[in-house]
């Protein structure tokens, strides 16, 4: 039994024309695994992530996180579940402008009303790990995009979640910052053993994963595992993407 | 699609964005129109309200218009800020600045015209209700409905001019010139509010020196000075000191880093700084409204007490004894009406007392006092030479010192009197009475002959003064007749307690009516200001809570955070207005004797109640919007 179990998951959006966004997805992620989800725009990868992150509800099928089914919980219970068990990293950081970086990072803990000592301890540990100690008292608009994303990762992991979910974390970053952010996520996965699910367009970001799952038109298409060499894995991903339909250039053009 | 159609369609298809602006403009028109409808009513013009009332009403109509002006000004700027992004898109598509201004002008004129029409229609619907209310408060006869041609014209002219000027000034509101800035609109992160520590200190200094000034002896200058200091202090309190206080509050991480406190306290600094000027204005106007309400109501209460405590229906002061015109007139009138009366001639001697710094006494003869005392069953005691009976009126707040045993007077002979007995009762006016035996009186009178005045007091047993008189009672009719009677005599005058009471009542009623009207308008305007403020930030707040919701902020916590924020917007100014009103009343209240404090608290209480209703409405609407973005 994996840490995250997705069984026969389907999602249909009803409208004037109903759209089948996901069709019969089965996926299992083991404890401590670092899995990337890739696919073209509209392939359904963000829908899948939303479902796992409990923001959206499946039309049929089941999701189990740590043997719990979050979609059977009540709203307030669900919020608490997200707060305690999950960590989120977003493309646009989602940091609050009114707070300092430190306050943003401890936010999940303050909502839990943890003691000040515990918060300070964890803040120090996570800030050192991510190399953002010197910007802790700055405002979000005073630091670079890469630093902001590292702060967001710090916020997502300060409460030691069982599952870290990242939605295009490098989508708004330059290549140097992207690399840096991905190295941080890899580090957290290795040192803390945090199970991580990453949705991305970016082959470079995906090359940090243990395994990359490809989705095409709402269905699982293929998956490839990383060997010893990341460079080789990167090439495999590019090949896979071009095989999927578009060409490498078109698919990796998300960088700003 | 022509440009005009574009403007029309904008309004027609995006009703929700325009509705708040439209409704508040309509309300402003309606308030102004109803008011005009009332003061231009043909019966009001004829009503015996006096000059003061008509001046008061005139002033109130200007005030209403000024409020409306500020209100519409504010509404437009809030409304345009929300639509900045739309203007950005139009600019990218190649719209010229001129065209953009023309679009805004057209839209505003359409909304303006519509709101003038709805405002007047709404005013006509509620007109009868308003007239009924007015006739009750002012105690007038039935006011029939009429066709308010004049009011309609004035309203149309005033507000069309207002909207025209506003619409032409739009370039003043949309300052951003770059398309990019417009596209980003209000979504750019705001800089942390800054405050100068010196200005914050200035606020503390001015506020405390204002309080210090009020502690001391009050004169017109010191009062004015205190008011000015208070204004400066309060302004810098909202713009500077509040930010400093919040910064200090944030230093205490034990409370700040706990639960949702982190969210709303951090927002607080921004909201207070953003709204500082509005807070300042609301605080000042609320203070003024509550203070004047309490003073007016206190005046009313005092007039009532004066009426009830005064046993004599008529008083004639300083009658010329050779030609007693006033007493003759009173007696003639009473005889004609068949009313029995008792007349008490009293020679009062107005003297300054050494022991009492700012008070004087009226000295009266024992024989004359006893005549009164027997009819009113008051205590009668034997008085030796240089002994006195002191009677302290109940209508004044000035108390005699407890250890007072003697009275001595300035002048060459300086007679000294021993106080034999003291009791409280309003007898003749609001000055302390000193009764002495006839021998002593005559002795003192030698020195102070020019201080003596011959007064007459009329007791009319059939006129009950335990209750206040109704406007058609015999007492008020006769009183009015006698007080208005004006013979060409140099000395003397008649005072009728009934007319005194009625005059104060009517003056107070007008002030209350006008005051109520202004407060009602103002409180609605405040609520709408706050509503606009909240809803112009709504898109931003939606994004804010959506993000928080994803990382696990529950619905309940969102509601609590948002409620705290809205509540602070609504109640911060009222809180300070309350404090200021209490300070104001406690100082001005000294001038009146009856419960100004209770009245002041009631005035604030009513204001708080109205605002609370608005608060719940706005909160419900705001939360309903935010609920949609919670996942």
H helix or E strand, kind and range, residue A87: strand A86-89
What is the secondary structure of B28-89 as a DSSP string? HHHHHHHHHHHHT-HHHHHSS-HHHHHHHHHHHHHHHHHHHHHHHHHHHHHHHHHTHHHHHH
Q: Which one-letter DSSP state was computed for residue B467? A: S
Of A76, A81, A103, the CB nearest to B555: A76
pLDDT of res. A195: 94
Q: Which one-letter DSSP state was computed for residue B345? A: E
What total of structural domains would you count in chain A? 1
Q: How far apart are the C-alpha atoms of B374 and B31, rounded to whole Å?
A: 58
Same domain, B483 and B571: no
Q: Is B48 exposed, middle or buried (0-12, 13-18, 19+ CB in 10 A)?
A: exposed
Backbone phi, then psi, for B342, in 5-degree steps? -120, 140
Q: Do A97 and B261 touch (CB under 8 A)?
A: no
Distance of CA B40 to CAs A158, B47, B140, B145, B476, Å? Answer: 70, 12, 15, 12, 28
Interface test with B, best of A84, A110, A164 (most B CBs within 10 A): A110
**Residues in chain B within 8 Å Cβ distance of A151:** none
Closest CA to B581 of B610, B606, B613: B606
Both tokens assigned to B368: 């004359």
Residues in a beta bridge with A224? A212
In order along its 256 residues, chain A shows pLDDT tens digits of 788 999 999 999 888 888 888 999 999 999 999 999 998 888 888 899 999 988 888 999 999 998 899 999 988 888 889 989 999 999 888 888 888 999 999 999 998 888 999 999 999 999 999 999 999 999 988 899 999 999 999 999 999 999 999 999 998 899 999 999 999 999 999 999 999 999 998 999 999 999 999 998 889 989 999 988 889 999 999 988 888 765 545 555 444 4
Same domain, B485 and B522: no
Is B64 a member of any domain? yes
Q: How far apart are the C-alpha atoms of B415 and B386, rounded to whole Å?
A: 8
- Strands A34-38 and A211-216, how do they pair? parallel
Spatial contact of A201 and A172, defined as CB atoms under 8 Å apart: no
Same domain, B180 and B329: no
Cβ of A27: how many Cβ atoms within 10 Å?
A: 20
Closest CA to B498 of B296, B301, B306: B306
Same domain, B292 and B161: no
Spatial contact of B112 and B208, defined as CB atoms under 8 Å apart: no
Closest CA to B383 of B393, B391, B395: B391
Which residue is closest to A57 within chain B, CA to CA?
A: B631
Q: Taking an 8 Å Cβ-Cβ cutoff, which residues of chain A contact chain B?
A: 53-56, 75-76, 79-84, 86, 88, 90, 94, 96-99, 103, 106-108, 110-111, 113, 116, 119, 139-141, 155-156
Spatial contact of B325 and B309, defined as CB atoms under 8 Å apart: no
Same domain, B482 and B511: no
Q: Do B552 and A108 touch (CB under 8 A)?
A: yes
Q: How far apart are the C-alpha atoms of B499 and A79, rounded to whole Å?
A: 71
Q: What angle do CA B361, B306, B354 make, to 5 degrees?
A: 15
Of A53, A79, A103, the CB nearest to B554: A79
**Residues in chain A within 8 Å Cβ distance of B190:** 97
Spatial contact of B417 and B386, defined as CB atoms under 8 Å apart: yes
Same domain, B470 and B602: no
User: Please, where are the H alpha helices in B237-365?
Assistant: 242-251, 253-256, 261-274, 276-309, 325-337
Distance of CA B76 to CAs B15, B186, B255, B592, B623, Å? Answer: 15, 16, 39, 44, 24
Is B293 a member of any domain? yes
pLDDT of res. B27: 83
What total of structural domains would you count in chain B? 4
Closest CA to B552 of A108, A161, A56, A197: A108
- What is the CATH classification number for the domain harbouring A207? 3.40.50.300
Q: Do A79 and B552 touch (CB under 8 A)?
A: yes
Cβ of B177: how many Cβ atoms within 10 Å?
A: 10
Q: Do A96 and B557 touch (CB under 8 A)?
A: no
Both tokens assigned to B196: 């100068």
Of A103, A108, A139, the CB nearest to B551: A108
Both tokens assigned to A51: 């479902």
pLDDT of res. A256: 42
Q: How far apart are the C-alpha atoms of B138 and A171, rounded to whole Å?
A: 71
Longest dimension (CA), chain A: 54
Model ipTM value: 0.85
Which residue is closest to A97 within chain B, CA to CA?
A: B189
pLDDT digits (tens, 9 = 90+) for B526-567: 777 778 778 777 878 888 899 889 888 899 999 999 999 889
Closest CA to A206 of A242, A235, A228, A177: A235
Is B107 a member of any domain? yes
Same domain, B184 and B286: no
Same domain, B477 and B379: yes
Q: How far apart are the C-alpha atoms of B272 and B265, rounded to whole Å?
A: 11
Closest CA to B431 of B356, B353, B360: B360
Q: How far apart are the C-alpha atoms of B4 and B368, rounded to whole Å?
A: 88
Same domain, B322 and B456: yes
pLDDT of res. B189: 66
User: Please, where are the H alpha helices in B453-537?
Assistant: 474-484, 497-536
Q: Do B555 and A82 touch (CB under 8 A)?
A: no
Burial profile A117-154: b = 16 or more Cβ within 10 angstroms, e = fewer: eebeebbeebbebbebeebbeebbeebebbbbbbbbbb
Same domain, B467 and B541: no
Q: What angle do CA B109, B115, B119 make, to 5 degrees?
A: 150
**Residues in chain A within 8 Å Cβ distance of B271:** none
Q: How far apart are the C-alpha atoms of B21 and B28, rounded to whole Å?
A: 11
Q: What angle do CA A165, A171, A175 make, to 5 degrees?
A: 115
Same domain, B154 and B173: yes
Domain span holding position B122: 1-188
Q: How far apart are the C-alpha atoms of B167 and B161, rounded to whole Å?
A: 10
| CB neighbour list of residue B285: distance below 8 Å, 6 or more residues apart | B522
Q: How far apart are the C-alpha atoms of A2 and B215, rounded to whole Å?
A: 76
Domain boundary among B188, B219, B241: B188
Which residue is closest to B258 within chain A, CA to CA?
A: A110
Domain span holding position A153: 4-251
In Å, how far is A105's CA from the nearest CA of chain B?
11
Is A242 a member of any domain? yes
Cβ of B304: how many Cβ atoms within 10 Å?
A: 16
By three-state DSSP, how is residue B494 classified? strand
Is B66 a member of any domain? yes
Is A191 a member of any domain? yes
Is B599 a member of any domain? yes
pLDDT of res. A255: 45
Is A113 a member of any domain? yes
Interface test with B, best of A111, A162, A164 (most B CBs within 10 A): A111
Q: Do A111 and B555 touch (CB under 8 A)?
A: no
By three-state DSSP, how is residue B334 classified? helix
Same domain, B355 and B369: yes
Of A96, A106, A108, the CB nearest to B544: A96
Torsion of CA A35, A36, A39, A42, to 10 degrees: 90
Is A256 a member of any domain? no
Which residue is closest to A94 within chain B, CA to CA?
A: B547
Domain boundary among B461, B479, B497: B497
Distance of CA B217 to CAs A1, B101, B205, B212, B221, Å? Answer: 85, 57, 20, 10, 11
pLDDT of res. B78: 73
| CB neighbour list of residue B219: distance below 8 Å, 6 or more residues apart | none
**From edge to edge, which strands make up the β-sheet containing B452-459?**
B406-408, B416-424, B387-392, B432-436, B360-365, B342-352, B452-459, B314-317, B493-496
Spatial contact of B155 and B32, defined as CB atoms under 8 Å apart: yes
Which segments in chain B show pLDDT lower than 50?
Answer: none
Is B209 a member of any domain? yes
H helix or E strand, kind and range, residue B558: helix B555-588
Q: Do B552 and A90 touch (CB under 8 A)?
A: no
pLDDT digits (tens, 9 = 90+) for B112-135: 999 999 999 999 998 888 888 877
Q: Do A96 and B266 touch (CB under 8 A)?
A: yes
Q: Do A97 and B189 touch (CB under 8 A)?
A: yes
Which residue is closest to A91 within chain B, CA to CA?
A: B547
Which residue is closest to A165 within chain B, CA to CA?
A: B551
Spatial contact of A227 and A233, defined as CB atoms under 8 Å apart: yes
Q: How far apart are the C-alpha atoms of B132 and B142, rounded to whole Å?
A: 8
Residue owning tokens 């209460």: B301
**Residues in chain B within 8 Å Cβ distance of A76:** 554-556
């Amino acid at each position: 039994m994996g840490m995250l179990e997705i069984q026969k998951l389907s999602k249909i959006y009803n409208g004037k024309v109903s759209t089948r966004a996901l069709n019969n997805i089965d996926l299992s992620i083991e404890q401590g695994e670092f899995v990337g989800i890739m696919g073209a725009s509209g392939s359904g990868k963000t829908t899948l992530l939303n479902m796992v992150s409990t923001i959206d509800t499946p039309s049929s099928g089941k999701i189990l996180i740590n043997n719990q089914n979050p979609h059977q919980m009540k709203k307030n219970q669900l919020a608490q579940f997200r707060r305690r068990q999950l960590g989120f990293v977003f493309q646009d950081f989602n940091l609050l402008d009114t707070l300092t970086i430190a306050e943003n990072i401890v936010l999940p803990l303050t909502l839990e009303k943890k003691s000040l000592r515990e918060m300070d301890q964890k803040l120090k540990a996570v800030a050192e790990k991510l190399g953002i100690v010197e910007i802790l008292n700055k405002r979000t608009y005073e630091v670079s995009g890469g630093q902001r994303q590292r702060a967001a990762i710090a916020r997502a992991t300060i409460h030691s979640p069982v599952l870290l979910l990242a939605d295009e974390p490098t989508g708004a970053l330059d290549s140097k910052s992207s690399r840096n952010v991905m190295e941080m996520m890899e580090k957290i996965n290795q040192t803390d053993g945090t199970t991580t699910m990453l949705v991305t367009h970016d082959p470079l970001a995906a090359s940090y994963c243990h395994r990359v799952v490809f989705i095409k038109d709402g269905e699982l298409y293929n998956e490839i595992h990383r060997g010893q060499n990341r460079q080789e894995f990167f090439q495999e991903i590019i090949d896979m993407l071009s095989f999927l339909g578009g060409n490498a250039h078109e698919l990796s053009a998300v960088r700003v | 699609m022509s440009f005009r159609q574009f403007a029309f369609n904008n309004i027609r298809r995006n009703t929700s964005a325009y509705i708040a602006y439209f409704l508040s403009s309509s309300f402003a028109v309606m308030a102004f129109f109803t008011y005009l409808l009332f003061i231009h009513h043909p019966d009001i013009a004829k009503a015996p309200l006096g000059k003061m009332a008509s001046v008061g009403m005139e002033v109130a109509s200007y005030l209403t218009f000024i409020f409306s002006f500020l209100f519409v000004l504010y509404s437009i700027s809030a409304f345009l800020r929300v639509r900045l992004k739309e203007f950005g898109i139009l600019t990218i598509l190649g719209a010229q600045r001129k065209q953009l201004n023309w679009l805004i002008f057209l839209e505003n004129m359409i909304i303006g015209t519509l709101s003038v029409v709805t405002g007047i229609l709404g005013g006509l619907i509620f007109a009868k209700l308003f007239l009924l209310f007015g006739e009750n408060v002012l105690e007038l006869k039935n006011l029939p409905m009429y066709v308010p041609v004049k009011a309609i014209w004035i309203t149309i002219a005033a507000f069309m001019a207002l909207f025209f000027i506003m619409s032409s000034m739009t370039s003043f509101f949309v300052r951003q010139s770059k398309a990019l800035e417009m596209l980003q609109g209000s979504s750019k992160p705001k800089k942390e509010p800054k405050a100068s520590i010196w200005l914050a200190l200035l606020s503390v200094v001015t506020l405390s020196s204002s309080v210090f000034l009020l502690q001391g002896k009050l004169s017109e200058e010191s009062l004015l000075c205190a008011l000015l200091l208070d204004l400066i202090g309060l302004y810098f309190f909202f713009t500077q000191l509040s930010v400093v206080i919040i910064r200090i509050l944030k230093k205490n991480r034990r409370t700040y880093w706990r639960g949702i406190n982190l969210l709303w306290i951090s927002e607080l600094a921004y909201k207070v700084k953003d709204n500082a000027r509005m807070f300042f204005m609301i605080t000042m106007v609320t203070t003024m409204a509550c203070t004047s309400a309490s003073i007016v109501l206190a005046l009313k209460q005092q007039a009532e007490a004066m009426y009830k405590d005064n046993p004599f229906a008529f008083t004639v002061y300083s009658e010329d004894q050779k030609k007693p015109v006033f007493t003759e007139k009173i007696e003639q009138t009473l005889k004609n009406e068949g009313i029995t009366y008792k007349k008490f001639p009293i020679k009062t001697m107005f003297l300054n007392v050494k022991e009492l710094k700012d008070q004087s006494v009226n000295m009266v003869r024992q024989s004359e006092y006893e005549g009164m005392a027997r009819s009113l069953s008051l205590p009668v005691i034997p008085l030796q030479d240089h002994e006195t009976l002191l009677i302290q009126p109940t209508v004044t707040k000035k108390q005699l010192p407890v250890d007072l045993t003697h009275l001595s007077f300035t002048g060459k002979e300086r007679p000294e009197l021993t106080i034999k007995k003291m009791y409280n009762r309003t007898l003749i006016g609001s000055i302390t009475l000193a009764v002495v035996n006839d021998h002593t009186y005559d002795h003192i009178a030698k020195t102070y002959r020019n201080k003596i005045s011959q007064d007459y007091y009329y007791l009319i047993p059939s006129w009950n003064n335990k209750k206040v008189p109704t406007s058609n009672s015999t007492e008020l009719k006769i009183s009015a007749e006698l007080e208005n009677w004006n013979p060409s005599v140099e000395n003397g005058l008649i005072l009728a307690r009934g007319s005194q009471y009625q005059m104060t009542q009517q003056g107070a009623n007008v002030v209350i009516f006008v005051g109520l009207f202004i407060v009602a308008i103002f409180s609605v305007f405040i609520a709408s200001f706050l509503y606009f403020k909240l809803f112009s930030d709504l898109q931003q707040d939606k994004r804010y809570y959506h993000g928080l919701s994803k990382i696990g902020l529950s619905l309940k916590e969102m509601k609590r955070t948002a409620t705290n924020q809205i509540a602070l917007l609504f109640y911060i100014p009222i809180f300070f207005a309350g404090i200021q009103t209490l300070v104001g009343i406690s100082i001005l209240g000294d001038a009146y004797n009856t419960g100004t404090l209770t009245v002041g608290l009631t005035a604030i209480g009513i204001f708080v109640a109205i605002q609370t209703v608005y608060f719940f409405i706005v909160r419900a609407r705001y939360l309903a919007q935010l609920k949609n973005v919670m996942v």
